[in-house]
Chain A
Amino acid sequence: MRLKRLFCTFILMGVGYLYGQNKQILYDFYEIPQSLMLNPGVKTSEKWHAGIPVLSGLSLQAGTSGVTVNDLFANDGIDFTTKVRERVLDAMTRRDDFSSTVQIELLNIGFRGRNRPDDYYSFGMYLENDVVVYWPKDLALLAFEGNGGNNIGRSFDLGDLSLRGEMASVFHFGINRKLSNVLTVGARAKLYSGVYQFQSIQNTGSFITTQGQNNIYVSSIVADMQLQTAGIEPVFDILDENESGEGKELTRLFSKRAFLGGNLGLGMDLGFSYNPDPQLTITGSMLDIGFMNNSKDVKNYTLRGNASTEGVTVFLPEDINNVDNDLWQELVDDIEESLPYEENESTYISLRPVKVYGSIRYDFGEGGESSFENCGCAVNKQGRRTEGFYRNSVGGQLFMIKRPREIQYALTGFYQRRFGRVLSLKGTYTIDKYSWTNVGLGLNLQAGSVNFYIMGDNLMSYRNIADSHYASLQFGINIISWNDN
């Protein structure tokens, strides 16, 4: 039971190492091969690349738009229940969320077509865990305060329950094609192998207690709620069955599902880079346009109907001959019949969280050593000049992600500085619902054929990481070949 609770906490709250959906530092950082994963149409110049397995793309991030760890757990001598009331119940709204994504790249390889040097192919596999839990404000208030006292007459919105999460391994293959000196496009096909999925979205309903028409109170509930799960129950079964061997069994179960033994899905990424002017680049991409078909280990829970009660009612003379002693139980049964809680195993489709990136970049500061000086591919040369000639870049980026309740936005301004082909730095400032003070910094180091990058987000929060709404760290190591060596 304890392990089960731990598992749920890990999934729902994203405790552990988390990877943000918005990778604004990596986006259009075309010196890094992993930028292909954010825009399959990004400019590519390498001959081939190979990520170091597991270490090619790894990052950590935690995000909350509401309360921070420090808000609640700072050793400040304030009563904890008071803190929860003032900083969570009174402050957070149904739009606040806890969201996270873990992404670990297991394989990432790319190569330029021998016969079509304008094409750059890439393929690989990564594991992704994506969870978003909206703050169920009214349900939390109901649990904390109840329906009595000052809450008589208050309608609790059952639609406040909204959450979605899934873990899947993603096998992908992408083609990046330079159509002309001004336009590069790309597409990536994805095959998802689901480890687990759950979602409780589009719930509606309310619960209210008011002054009754006959009795003192009338309590009414209208509900159309559903929790869909796939792959969760066998995990709980393993955790329930034994305390000692669950680690091995879980690993076996997760491995099987991650390698095409679970629920399957299909998806694609699309992207482009457009240079209307040698110094101006406009890019855009749409990622994870896809779905999962959840048909294995499905367990769905529903609560649909409506009920209203003023307690046991006796009207005389109509009920004079009713000598039944079980009036209360009959009332409970009637409510359960009007508002049935049911389980089913129906297959369902879940949509992937679609993400959209867009950017505009202006390059300036002619005279830097070209990043692709030694590139044997001759792909991104424009006449006698090679791209990456400019030392500086400034620009703006837009990020959007479809969440169950809304489309979340993030706006980023950035400055990038290149020091020859060895070192490149990118600084970002991002505004989103999690933070208005998000300053990030990325470093890309090219030591011979070894490429190393490290990126930190929301650096100002590192002064007190527990008080941060959002923090991340990501890094990776690749081997890149720019020529035939």
Chain B
Amino acid sequence: MKGFLGRLLLAFILVPLIFCSCTEEQDFNQFNDLQITPLVASSLIYLESDEATINAVGGLGNFYVQTINFDAFNEQFVSENLLEGTLFYEIDNTTSKQLAITIEFLDAANNVLDVESFDVQPNQPTTFMREVDYGPTGKNLNILRETSSIRVAASNLSDSTSISSDPEPKVILRTAAEFLFQLK
């Protein structure tokens, strides 16, 4: 009885539609061709040091070394959906020191996957900028996918006594990333 009622209802519904309406050809498989590729931007690490701290640590040595666990890159979502990425670096140095900054990308076993090195001149008049691409037109994307931690090291290549004439001498490292994901 239920089945008969259902068929009767369906007939009442569909028959008028079939006779009364028409439609252009539709291709619903097109949905499979949809591509959603957002570009996601975020700052990563900001490091700032005044000149006094650099002098206090002494000359010709690291005044900052830190390994930061960084699993954001090798999250399953990122590993599976990352198409390409760009890392941005900006450095300002108003100290009187020549500095060396290195950023190492380490995998889970602490193997170095990639290194970005910066030779920072003293009393830099403008902001130093570098963009590093990963993906089809840049470095291997797996560097990002397999990165488990980032080691940041900053060392003083000058003496430990000189003082800049700038009223607030500082070295500043800014980093950010833009990642292109394939959501669909």
Contacts and interface: CB of A to CB of B under 8 A. Distances in A.
Contacts of A148: 38-41, 178-179
B68 A312 contact: yes
Interface in B10-37: 12-13, 16-17, 20-28, 30-31, 33-36
B120 interface: no
Contact of B183 (A58, A143, A217, A465): A143
B31 A325 contact: no
Given A215-B43, A215-B46, A316-B53, A311 B26 contact: no
Interface stretch (A70-78, A191-199, A404-412): A70-78
Nearest to A217: B43
Contacts of A206: none
B49 interface: yes
B44 interface: yes
B45 interface: yes
Contacts of A72: 30
Chain B interface bracket (under 10, 10 to 19, 20 to 34, 35 or more):
35 or more
B41 A147 contact: yes
With a 10 A CB-CB cut-off, give which of A73, A209, A326 has the most chain B CB atoms: A73
A26 interface: no
Interface stretch (B59-67, B111-119, B136-144): B59-67
A219 B9 contact: no
A471 B20 CA distance: 12
Interface string B49-74: 11011001000000110111111100
Contacts of A152: 41
B145 interface: no
Given A17-B13, A216-B174, A312-B45, A143 B24 contact: no
Contacts of B46: 214-215, 310-314
Interface in A13-37: 17
Interface string A296-328: 000000000000011111111100100101111
Interface in B113-162: 149
A60 B13 contact: yes
Given A80-B33, A216-B174, A316-B64, A75 B25 contact: yes
Given A73-B27, A310-B43, A328 B50 contact: no
B90 interface: yes
B43 A212 contact: yes
A244 interface: no
A326 B69 contact: yes
Contact of B181 (A146, A313, A315): A146
A81 interface: yes
B41 A209 contact: yes
Interface residues of A, number: 60
Contacts of A55: 9, 12
Contact of A215 (B13, B20, B175): B175
B17 A473 contact: yes
B48 A214 contact: yes
Interface string A140-151: 001111111101
Contact of B24 (A60, A74, A214, A462): A74
A217 B39 contact: no
A79 interface: yes
B34 A309 contact: no
Contacts of B48: 214, 313-316
A143 B108 CA distance: 30
Contacts of B41: 146-149, 152, 209, 217, 219
B36 A144 contact: yes
Interface in A52-70: 54-55, 58, 60, 69-70
A462 B174 contact: no
Given A312-B68, A314-B66, A325-B68, A464 B43 contact: no
B176 A217 contact: yes
B42 interface: yes
B45 to A, nearest CB: 5
Given A55-B12, A314-B46, A465-B22, A80 B39 contact: no
Contacts of A216: 43, 88, 90, 174-176
Contacts of B183: 143
A60 B15 CA distance: 13
A311 B38 contact: no
B28 to A, nearest CB: 5
A80 B30 contact: yes
A329 B41 CA distance: 18
Contacts of B17: 60, 465, 473
A439 to B, nearest CB: 14
Nearest to A70: B24
Nearest to A320: B53
B5 interface: yes
Contact of A74 (B25, B34, B40): B25
Given A311-B43, A311-B175, A312-B44, A81 B70 contact: no
A378 interface: no
Contact of A80 (B5, B16, B23, B31): B31
A327 B64 CA distance: 15
Contact of A323 (B66, B71, B88): B66
> 5 smallest A-B Cβ distances: which pairs?
A146-B38, A148-B41, A311-B43, A316-B49, A148-B39
30 contacts: A54-B5, A69-B26, A73-B28, A74-B24, A75-B25, A75-B27, A81-B34, A143-B36, A147-B38, A147-B40, A148-B41, A209-B42, A216-B175, A218-B43, A219-B43, A309-B42, A310-B43, A311-B42, A313-B46, A314-B46, A317-B49, A317-B50, A317-B53, A325-B66, A325-B68, A327-B69, A454-B16, A462-B22, A465-B22, A466-B23
Interface of B: 5, 9, 12-13, 16-17, 20-28, 30-31, 33-36, 38-50, 52-53, 56, 63-64, 66-72, 88, 90, 149, 172, 174-176, 178-181, 183
Given A79-B33, A149-B41, A320-B53, 9 more contacts: A60-B17, A73-B26, A80-B34, A81-B35, A217-B42, A218-B43, A313-B46, A320-B64, A473-B16
